[in-house]
Structure 1
């Protein structure tokens, strides 16, 4: 028995150490090994590995090399004492390529995550499907995608791309709730530069085609982009601290901090009373939430809308807000997609929604109309209409046209609508409204400028004054900006036990 135990320990140590030359190559690329990454991600000594001794059973060319683990490390550990399930592809073994045994290990850990109601975290670093295993590799990917979809809305799913994630492998991060990418080392694409050049003659680098900056700024595939693996994995830990383990649990709470009695006079100074003057909505959010270093998603994509996870009086909330610094805070196709997916995630996992509104409308233009802004805007409308979590709307300044409706208005089901004294809720701005309603009168006037000024003033006083919407019951209260944090906290406390039965149906048909 002593000899057998010694042999077991020696074998384990060899597997953990890996192939020295391959490990050295990984380090030269500025990348950590799979196990080094798990050490950064998980609590110390919490990792329980599964299938360490698994080997592929393929037959055929170059199939004699059968290293243990088959290029992926799977198991479970804890983050701040909370259970998570993980798999980390190991680029030092077959380039992290996916074969049947590799896929079977991932399938097992995904199934365990769902059965135990715990988040799943995938560390991706793979050359793609293992060509030598042919259709079995493709079948393995299909099993992963099927499980991603079955787990969607049941447990949080987090993908971390730390190297290549090519071909079919890219679909798994696209199906999960959050995707982290590390600049310089991470790439994600369906067809690589060589194939593109062979088919179209276009030359493009890996980074230009599917690097972290591309997906963080242009495609919206990357939720977060980091400069290095250490900060990336630290942010994964922070994200997990804000999420429930599954859809049946409440998000983790922190100690209350007296938000319901908090006064923030700086809010009145941050937002100009003039509706067309820009300001940074992030500074407003920082005054309302507990920690000014809230977690913003898709920071550099569709930046005209902000989506963030934060806490108010210790409770996790999702914040959706227009950003007047970018495109004046208008909604466009990309912003609607970004906000819709975030709203649906928060609703799936019981995270209350706080919507901060300062929106002049949807972005006009043929490019937007032809790119399907109607369909994409309908996604955000659908997401809010479907959401059953507590919902609080705060109208800071402008709320014009269809964009007002879409930004969680009373008519689509918000539970509590608050407005500042600077609010303007209307079909359009006063100047534009006067130009439409009084166009003939203005055209016939000898001096249209003073007439227009008088008509604009009258329109504002009759239909856009701060209490007009409150008089109609569309706003529950007009509040002092300094009281916003307190009013939102009290509103969320009031709605904490909200319950809504979903309609009897299989599922709705989201305007994809």
Structure 2
């Protein structure tokens, strides 16, 4: 008797594993895509994945759905371990009715969301679906609502990662949009509210699927996606890398990685020479002598801030977020002495590092996400201004810039700023200034902290004196130099307490390391109020 029953169970399990059948699995592979279960196998540590609700299937018989019914109803859900940590997952199966979302399909996703929320563990939601299952009508729309509600409830509580590896259209787009991070893959990922045919009918605009909602569009223009990869294999490796910087929930601290020996001959020699000159001891891993070569002392010359980040952070630890969007600001996760940190840095290579509306949105969301998950913030400042012009004003630079101010002010995690060169006007305030709540603000000796650049300030403040001068250019040059000497140096700000300490560039990593250690147990009780943790 038991043997017969076990045989029945085994047959049902085999049917579940067949999904939409061999032909549809082959078609999935020919389109350059993995199956739902292959993706799960790629994500989780071998042998750790446990499936739940595998026997659930649709109850609808209309429109021939009774002949398409498959146990699992087009989505695989369960939990397992990624690098030894518990993670929950839902993976839509395009081989089953196009991965369309119906009543029980959505119920399975909602249940695994509830489990992740209750267990305070991350959830990965893999999207590969043709959208709402039209045959199930309002039940499909209700299913989306149930998922969105749980996405919102879990926002800022547990890490939520959406992976788009196929179509994701219509209402389905909003679940990934509420998640903390979205991953996409070139050529196979598609996200849009309405498809090309509807766009053509409604607004008489012709476009391809790729032009409308491909991975490159969302990586460079809309800013919808945070990470883009060439193939699914590298994409899922990226998901695992991101998780290594994040805690299981807001109740935990981020994981710590043991620091490898990064000492090399160049650093050791520079360290030795520096020690002889200064008579001080510094760990060779913390010495940043290269910074004076990376960052020109002439504030008009550009440099790549990514080189600065690589120098002050643990070797090869920086994971950039939205690297192809709003390139004038750089955000991402890194490690300093093995500890996770969130980096926010102006990029002088693009728009001279000024802040525009897209950069403000990008930074604000990242700052709030770091704050949710207890990731300290390290801010590298070299900013001339909020970007001027009618285009910026009409796009709402005031509204978007305010989001950045709000995010830094609200954040209760450790916040440390390093002013490398320019820190002008309102943009200086927005980049985690002391009076906006920064715990520590360091400045390099050549830092320029002022309302605006010397040339602009002199042209406004001394316009009459310049116009009345016999040699206008000589007078202007003299006044510019006097203004720089008197106002545009870090010691004025330090004397007023707006800068914690003026430091040498080569001390930057050691100062950050010591500051993060000191701030490790920082606790700030937020004002009790009714608000969510949804990143802006």
SS of residue in 1 equivalent to 2:449: strand
Residue in structure 2 matched with residue 197 of structure 1 by the alignment:
200
Deviation at 1:509, TM superposition (A): 11
1:155 aligns with 2:179: no
Q: Which residue of 1 aligns with 2:290?
A: 266
1:208 alignment partner in structure 2: 211
Residue number in structure 1 paired with 2:433: 409
Paired residue for 2:396? 372
Which moved further from structure 2: 434-443 or 3-12?
3-12
Alignment equivalent of 1:121, drawn from 114, 119, 124: 124
Deviations 1:362-396 (A, max 9, x none): 11100000100001000000000000001100000
Structure 2 partner of 1:474: 498
Whether 2:75 is the aligned partner of 1:72: answer yes
Q: CA deviation at 1:293?
A: 4.3
Report whether the alignment pairs 1:396 with 2:420: yes
Unaligned runs of 5+ in 1: none
Q: Secondary structure at the match of 1:165?
A: strand
Distance (Å, rounded) in 2 between the aligned partners of 1:376 and 1:484: 30
Tell me the residue number matched to 2:147: 144
**Residue 328 (1) aligns with residue 313 (2):** no
The residue aligned with 2:268 is none
Matched-pair contact (CA < 8 Å) for 1:379–1:510: no
For 1:443 and 1:16, how far apart are their aligned partners in 2? 83
Alignment of 1:103-114 (within 5 A): 103-114=106-117
Residue of structure 2 in register with 1:236 after alignment? 239
Instruction: Say what the alpha-carbon RMSD is for the aligned residues.
Output: 1.5
Q: Map Cα deviations across residues 406-435 of structure 1 (whole Å, 9 max, x no partner).
A: 000001000000011110000000010000
Say whether 1:175 aligns with 2:199: no
Match of 2:52 in 1: 50
Matches within 5 A, 1:214-363: 214-256=217-259, 261=283, 262-363=286-387
SS of the aligned residue for 2:128 comes to strand
Contact 1:336 1:377 in 2 (8 A): yes
State the shift of 1:258 in Å.
8.4
**Structure 1 contact 285–292 (Cα < 8 Å) conserved:** no
Counterpart contact for 2:441–2:501, Cα < 8 Å: yes
| TM-score (normalised: structure 2) | 0.94
- Conserved in 2, the CA contact under 8 Å of 1:388 and 1:500? yes
SS across alignment from 1:403: helix
CA deviation after TM superposition for structure 1 residue 504, in Å: 2.6
For 1:375 and 1:200, locate their aligned partners in 2 and report how far apart those are by CA, in whole Å.
28
Structure 1 match to 2:449? 425
Q: Note if contact 1:378-1:511 (Cα within 8 Å) is conserved in structure 2.
A: no
Q: Deviations over 1:240-285 (max 9, x none)?
A: 1111000000000112568973111001110000001000000000
Count of aligned residue pairs for this structure pair:
512
- Contact residue 152 and residue 534 of structure 2 kept, 8 A: no
Distance 1:58 1:380 in 2: 48
Contact conserved, 2:60 with 2:136, CA < 8 A, in 1?
A: yes
Aligned residue in 2 for 1:24: 26
SS across alignment from 2:77: strand
User: Matched residue of 1:188: which SS?
Assistant: strand
SS in 2 for 1:418: strand
Equivalent position of 2:275 in the other structure: none
Q: Is the 8 A contact 2:317 2:335 kept in 1?
A: no
| Maintained 8 Å contact 1:382/1:510 | no
Q: Which whole-Å CA distance do the structure 2 matches of 1:415 and 1:191 have between them?
A: 46
**What's the TM-score, normalizing by structure 1?**
0.98
Q: Counterpart of 1:68 in 2: which secondary structure?
A: coil
Other structure's SS at 1:496 match: coil
Residue 434 (structure 1) aligned with residue 458 (structure 2): yes
Gapped runs of 5+ residues in structure 2? 263-281
